[in-house]
Structure formats: C-alpha cells, structure tokens
Amino acid sequence: MKKLVYIIAFVAFCSVTFTNISAKEKFKAEKPDMEEIKKSIREPSSPYYYKKLWRKFCSNDTNMNIQEYRHLYLGYVFQEDYNPYRVSEFATKIQPLYYKKTHTEAECDTIIKYAELSLGDNPFDLNQMQFFIYALKTKKKFARASIWQYRLNHLLEAILSTGTGKDDSPWYVISPVHEYNIVNFMGLIATDHKELENSIDYIVVDRQNDKSPEGYYFDVSKVLEVYNTKFQE
C-alpha cells in the first residue's frame, strides 16, 4: 500500500517552504493520548470538540494553537469518513501533472480545480495541499496560497509535536503517506521503507551528513487499527 515511487516523484517536483516551529508558538514533543483525544473531540463542552475545531480550521482562524491542531489532525481517525488509504477520484485527474517540472497557466488552473475538489474529499491530503499551494503561487494568487500554506505548516507541526522521530519517540501519523511528507518537508529524500513490530514504520533517508539520522520512526497503530476494523472482514 505504500507508493514510494509515486510520493518521491510528487515531492521531487514541489518546492517546499516549511518552518518547523512557528515564531508565534513553540511546542514540546509529547506522545498523544489517543483515548483522551477521542473523548475530547466528542464532548460538545470541550474546547477540542471536533465540530468546533473544524469550523475554526475552515474559517482560517489564525489563533488556533498546537493542541487544537493536534486534536484536529489526530482526531480525524475517529470520524466516520476516515479512510487512511483513501485516494480521491479528483486527485487521479491531475496525477500526470506531478511528473512535470513546470506547468502552463491552463495546467495550473486544472491543478487548482481538482486539488481543491480532492481536498474536499480528503482534507488532510498533504500532497494535494502542497500541489494546490504551488499552483496558486504560480498564478500569483498569493493571498489564497498564504492561507493554505499556514494550514499546511500547522498540520505538519501537529505531527512533529507527537514525538522526535526516534525509535523511543516515533511521530504519529494518520496516513502512511504523511511519513514521506514529513521527511521530504524536512529537505530529505526517502530511500526505503520498513515495517517494524508494534505498528511502527521506519523510513530510511538519504543522509545529509555522517551525524544526521539514518531514518525516522512513525507510529501507524491507529491507521492499522481503524483500517482493520472498517475495511477488513
């Protein structure tokens, strides 16, 4: 189910701007309590009630903090329409454009149209989000691009806040594709993928120097749990 070649091809095209920690708010890596998140997002009186968070996210609320983004991102696994391996039909319409280094204005219009529709189907498809941002910037629609870049950066921060990427503190993701997004957004290239015990994935990277890590660890326990519950008989 891991489409390494597809993901590398996509990210190799993208020119990514990403700040690991926003100037506004720094965070401490903390393992998420998924049961507590599940409880909070279902409680209407909670500040993390999912419908509240979703409205704030869609209204481009720049006051959302890291905890709200953590609950928004990780809490999505408890939503009815969650499918960790979903691929929108709209995403397939622009897939051939991933492999091009440059795009015409008409192609950018196509990307904007179908990437936005795809995000309506799968709101945390970070590939489509980045492709959408790229096309908006190319068309000089900088205000819209800025909004989506803000969303993307904070979703990535939410993932990075769940651990350190080391074996004793893996990052939690709600989609296996996000493993590759993270390493590529860090300026690295994934060269291999390994499935370890206890629902841990290990992404081997092309090291920048001898002191940099050989790879990073990701916890996909909720991905597998939900997938096996919903889609395996």
Q: pLDDT at position 233, please? A: 57
Pick the range with the lowest mean pLDDT from 26-30, 108-112, 138-142, 200-204: 26-30
What share of the chain in percent tops pLDDT 70?
A: 88
Q: Is the pLDDT of residue 218 over 50?
A: yes
DSSP string, the chain: ---HHHHHHHHHH------SS-SS---------HHHHHHHHT-TTSTT-HHHHHHHHHTT-TT--HHHHHHHHHHGGGSTT--TT---HHHHHHGGGGG-SS--HHHHHHHHHHHHHHHHH-TT-HHHHHHHHHHHHHTT-HHHHHHHHHHHHHHHHHHHTT--SBTTBPEE-SSTHHHHHHHHHTT--EEEEEEETTTEEEEEE--SSTTS-SEEEEE-HHHHHHHHHHH--
> Greater confidence, 132 or 23?
132
Pairwise pLDDT comparison (103 vs 3), residue with the higher score:
103
Q: Which of 9-23, 56-70, 201-215 has the lowest mean pLDDT?
A: 9-23
When pLDDT is averaged across residues 94-98 and rounded to a whole number, the result is: 92
Chain segment 136-194, per-residue pLDDT in tens: 999 999 999 999 999 999 999 999 999 999 999 999 999 999 999 999 888 899 999 99
pLDDT digits (tens, 9 = 90+) for 191-210: 999 999 999 999 999 988 88
